[in-house]
Amino acid sequence: MKLPVIKQLTQFIEDNDEDFVIETIETLENLTEVPSLKDEELDVIGELISNMYGAIEVNKMIKSGTPKKEALNNFMQRVLGSIDN
């Protein structure tokens, strides 16, 4: 996951609507079923999907009252913590 990408997507959700991102995730998940995709292509799609899910999580924290910067930092700490374990 990349913080700048999640930050950009979070701003997109704030400016538009979370539904756009959810529909994009569904579209990308559907694309992963194409049998001719190479592993590298699947990795890129997977990275995009995980960043979008991350932005949705950050947006939920912001909606619950967490300041944006703190929400982004808390999310990334959770991700890094799960990698370390």
Amino acid 1: pLDDT: 83
Q: What is the three-class DSSP state of 27?
A: helix
Q: What is the three-class DSSP state of 81?
A: helix
Amino acid 85: pLDDT: 54
Q: Which residue has the tokens 């909606």?
A: 63
Q: Which residue has the tokens 């939920």?
A: 60
Whether the Cβ atoms of residue 7 and residue 45 lie closer than 8 Å to each other: no
**Which of these, 68, 41, 57, lies nearest to 1 by C-alpha position?**
57
Amino acid 84: pLDDT: 58
Q: Domain coordinates of the chain in residue numbers?
A: 3-84
- In tens, the pLDDT along 26-82 reads 999 999 999 999 999 999 999 999 999 999 999 999 999 999 999 999 998 888 776
Q: Where are the alpha helices (DSSP H) in the chain?
A: 3-15, 18-31, 39-63, 68-84
